[in-house]
């Protein structure tokens, strides 16, 4: 079974530029998450989708971050304009019954460096 796919794996940009990350979850997983993990910290939830609807985006900096999940499958996370503090790994995860099993399947992440 294919895992969660993310791209690009690495991205280096200058501050104030924009960047987009793509995620393809495991087939059949209705719940999709984007987490931000800064070096030395745990993953921080940015946004959670249930199918194509947003369940929680309370921690998403909406002045610069946006995310969508069209047709309830793939998702994109965009940052515009980027700041130095956005340097982090952006992890996409999907799950079938996360509240019960607690099992999120993570992609390998997209590592962003903002210069």
Q: Which residues bind other proteins (CB under 8 A)?
A: 31, 33, 35, 40-45, 48, 50, 55-56, 91, 95, 98-104, 106-109
Report in angstroms how near the CB of residue 108 gets to other proteins at its nearest: 6
Nearer to other proteins, 25 or 43 (CB): 43
Nearer to other proteins, 54 or 115 (CB): 54
- Beta strand 44-50 with 31-37: parallel, antiparallel or unpaired? antiparallel
Spatial separation of the C-alpha atoms in residues 80 and 92, rounded to whole Å: 19
Diameter over CA atoms, the chain = 41
Query: How many Cα atoms within 13 Å fall on the side-chain side of residue 83?
Result: 6
Report in angstroms how near the CB of residue 29 gets to other proteins at its nearest: 11
């Amino acid at each position: 079974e294919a895992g969660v796919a993310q791209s690009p794996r690495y991205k280096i940009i200058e501050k104030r530029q924009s960047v987009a990350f793509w995620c393809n979850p495991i087939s059949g997983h209705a719940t999709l998450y984007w987490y931000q993990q800064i070096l030395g910290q745990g993953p921080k939830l940015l946004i959670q989708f249930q199918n194509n609807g947003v369940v929680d985006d309370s921690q998403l900096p909406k002045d610069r971050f946006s995310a969508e999940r069209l047709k309830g499958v793939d998702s994109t996370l965009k940052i515009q304009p980027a700041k130095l503090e956005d340097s982090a790994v952006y992890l996409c995860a999907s799950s079938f019954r996360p509240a019960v099993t607690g099992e999120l399947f993570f992609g390998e992440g997209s590592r962003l460096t903002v210069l």
